[in-house]
Structure 1
């Protein structure tokens, strides 16, 4: 793991789709196209909280009632409406849709 990957795990946040189109965006992506375990945990927790607060569910429910299980199903089916903003050391950032990232 290089220093850039370590920085990504520590300095990422969620942004809305409207905020993703902003001036500090890099045109070429330099960060990894893999969803890190730290980002995965934060995405699942944030999405489960949204679901528990009655946010619309993006998948068909088949007996699931646990928000975390529903969020995991959305992640597996690549239907989570969250964008991750990864900050780079030079102050710029990259916005990645969770659905564009490869899950290991």
Structure 2
């Protein structure tokens, strides 16, 4: 994890800076576990978020949703947390308002 990149991403979310934030995390070259995603911050205070990942032999892509970003205080609290793992989780899993739009539904592939 890059603490400076996490701070930059959380600051952009807090300040509603229009643009895109992306992440990619994996173990064993992404073959056994991976987690990737993005948040596209709009000038109107909404965002589109999507993430996808693999776990063992299954692959899931969660739906792309547009919704309102939480209050800036949420991201300020994340920035104040000294634990980079907690800050990363905050980036990935913050709670948006009710979806205004679902751009693409969830799908997945599993190998049983």
Give me the TM-score of the superposition, normalised by structure 2.
0.24
Which structure is higher in helix share? 1
- TM score, norm. by length of structure 1: 0.25
Identify, as 1 or 2, the structure richer in strand: 2
Structure with the greater relative contact order (CA < 8 A, sep ≥ 6): 1 or 2? 1
